[in-house]
Structure 1
Amino acid sequence: MSSEVRNLPESTADRLPEAATTGAPSAGSARGRWAGVTAGVALCVVGAAVAMGIGRLVPAVNPMLIAIVAGALVSNLVAVPGWIKPGLDFSAKRLLRVGVALLGLQLMFSDVVGLGWGVIAVVVAIVALGIAGTLYLGKLLGLSWTQRVLIACGFSICGAAAVAATDGVVGAKEEELLTAVALVVVFGTLMIPAIPLLSGAFGLTDSQAGMWAGGSIHEVAQVVAAGGMIGGGALAVATVVKLARVLMLAPVMAYLGARQRRAAQGAAEERTQPPLVPLFVIGFLACVALRSSGLLPQAALDLARLAQTALLTTAMFALGLGVRVGLLRAVGPRPFVLAAASTVWVAGIALVGTVLVA
């Protein structure tokens, strides 16, 4: 995996008016680049702060989802200066990876083991079959491998964070990344009312409904919202099952990293081979181990949770700035068809597994 951070697509710069860059620092100079990084990161931090403030006022809505939507609104309503792109790239890539690593502090190995081997097997099946089925359906639709794998991992593991983490390993096109993030928001949000309603229609108990929610809904925040709607003991079960899916991020990223490394072996010698295991995945596992050790006091965990939320929200605002109506219109209906099919596929696997073991 290349350590370089890719720029936003050329179409972003093309759509900017000349006035947007008038008087801006020269992007070709080191001073101009640092100014662009500083300004871009500052914009994303402000966007994240606003999103987190709204999240406090409306606890039912996760600030990361607010940040994506807010970034998309800004991008489509305001001409974002092209010279700040280095800062947007830094926020969407580097800060995102740190935030994903800190996500490990929300999970303890004992929580996963406490689910029981039957539930663990269901979680593994959801992720493995979810990814495999989505990749196959995407191939039938004629989508690129990178687009398919972004949607597959986002819908099968943990939403936008998984999409961005996967992009950090496979190096997809920017429009593919942004499309996958937008699809996670749309279809994951639709799942929030759908799972509680269908759980009642199917006669599931609160525990079963919680397991189904945790096993099928894309984002952690979306799972929490659905679990709260179900009530009873559903929220606790849903959260732990979802975090078990988050833990699967590590082996999946390690596999993709090894795959990319093998693919790079036939390239020119001067080309840098991707690492066998991405550094942020090692950081994620280290954070899980640290949390499982019991060495961190609650105050440190609370601070780390705040930092993780702030970093991921900042990254999601940066990603949202790249989501444009014209881009989504240009990619055509096939990614949307795959997203809908993947949602149904993953939810179906989770429902069968829930009925069998819960």
Structure 2
Amino acid sequence: MLFATLAEQSHAAAALEEGVNTTGIFRHLHTPRVLFGQAFTLRQVVFGLFLVFCLTPWASPPIALALGLLLAQTVGNPFTSHTKAFTHKLLQFSVIGLGFGMNAHAAVQAGKEGILFTVVSIFGTLLLGYFVGKWLGLGRHVVHLISCGTAICGGSAIAAIGPVLGAKDEEMSVGLGTVFVLNALALFAFPPIGHALHMSQNQFGLWCAIAIHDTSSVVGAAAAYGNQALEVATTVKLARALWIIPVAIGTALVFKQKGVKIKIPYFIFGFILAMLVNTFVPAAKPVGPVMVSLAKIGLTVTLFFIGAGLSAKVVKSVGIKPYVLGVVLWVVISTASLYVILHAV
């Protein structure tokens, strides 16, 4: 009895920390029960059922993200620390797996088309972010983190630039929270816009790579649009992600940080290797479809985990000004790149 009471209190405390309602039916969802000697809660069962569904052919990246968001806003994520630790690695392995479905020659062509957009949009976003952030009165670290996340590759860029910047945990949380919320919106909004504007697969893939922050949402939106869009978006986005290195070096110089360690996104080289194997090693051809299928499942689960981490508390804790900065940067880069792509590609 004492064990059950203590367990119930600990689960309730965790739920309150996540900003989840623990009254009425929600209290029953958080109350531990014992079956076959194992303690579990009903919200853990709900999480498990959603996760299993994400492994089936009926799930898609947008549906998985929606399920994660639904879980986060209602019963809460019972495995927050685990999903947070697992998400990054799962995304990396999924991206590498997608490389087994891509052709190196087509990727080089896509990279050539996207390089000018990449350079202009990255430096344009960082410059615009500086002035808008100054106008809003935000701290330099928060402004730079959100700007880098928007300009390069979302959460990965923030995670790499933060230590170089010497950013505090709260500043990192604000940057990540802003980017992930806008990521979720982009995943749902971009495919309908692309269809409404009758964008080609190539155009849409290029637009996703430039205008959507995080690699997970880029790949998810492009996969919903078509295979060619997925190939273009993934290639251009990963080439864009390599700009973490020069931007991190520039950050260390501008903010006068010495002796910092720059985090290189090595998984990109795994993606390139997988693509080269798929293109130039005929014996590996039968493996390609299997790896791509597993990668798409991994991406779907990744987006479920990301959605499950966006609780109401996380969204509210960011504050309005960082969202204003993020939205301004996002709208400018989205509309400007869309205009150029529709008229030049």
Which TM-score tier does this pair reach, normalised by the shorter chain? 0.5 to 0.7
Task: Map Cα deviations across residues 209-256 of structure 1 (whole Å, 9 max, x no partner).
Answer: 55774565522332454x56xxxxxx84x4454234223244123335
Partner residue of 1:317 out of 285, 304, 317: 304
Partner residue of 2:266 out of 279, 298, 301: 279
Q: Number of aligned pairs?
A: 306
Structure 2 residue identity aligned to 1:253: I
Match of 1:50 in 2: 53
Give the Cα separation in 2 of the matches to 1:250 and 1:173.
19
Aligned Cα root-mean-square deviation (Å): 4.4
Residue identity (%): 18
Give the Cα separation in 1 of the matches to 2:91 and 2:202.
33
Asked whether the 8 Å contact 2:129–2:143 carries over to 1, the reply is yes
User: Helix, strand or coil for the counterpart of 1:190?
Assistant: helix
Structure 2 residue identity aligned to 1:186: L
Give the Cα separation in 2 of the matches to 1:100 and 1:212.
17
Structure 2 residue identity aligned to 1:180: V
Give the Cα separation in 2 of the matches to 1:150 and 1:108.
34
- Unaligned ranges ≥5, structure 1: 1-9, 25-34, 229-234, 268-272
- Unaligned ranges ≥5, structure 2: 1-13, 163-170, 213-217
Task: Map Cα deviations across residues 123-179 of structure 1 (whole Å, 9 max, x no partner).
Answer: 44345534554465345434456655665465555xxxx433234424563454243
Structure 2 residue identity aligned to 1:50: F
Matches within 5 A, 1:196-215: 196-197=195-196, 199=197, 210=204, 213-214=207-208
Give the Cα separation in 1 of the matches to 2:135 and 2:104.
38
- C-alpha spacing 1:173/1:290, structure 2 compared with 1 (3 Å): same
Asked whether the 8 Å contact 1:91–1:314 carries over to 2, the reply is no
Is 1:166 matched up with 2:157?
yes
Matches within 5 A, 1:60-209: 63-81=60-78, 84-115=79-110, 117=112, 120-130=115-125, 132-134=127-129, 136-143=131-138, 148=143, 151-152=146-147, 155-156=150-151, 162-171=153-162, 173-174=172-173, 176-197=175-196, 199=197
Structure 1 residue identity aligned to 2:304: F
Q: Over alpha carbons, which structure has the higher Rg?
A: 2
- C-alpha spacing 1:114/1:41, structure 2 compared with 1 (3 Å): farther
User: Helix, strand or coil for the counterpart of 2:310?
Assistant: coil
- TM-score normalised per structure 1: 0.65
Match of 2:330 in 1: 343
Give the Cα separation in 2 of the matches to 1:355 and 1:15.
43
Give the Cα separation in 2 of the matches to 1:279 and 1:117.
21
Partner residue of 2:234 out of 208, 224, 243: 243
Shift of 1:323: 0.8
- TM-score normalised per structure 2: 0.67
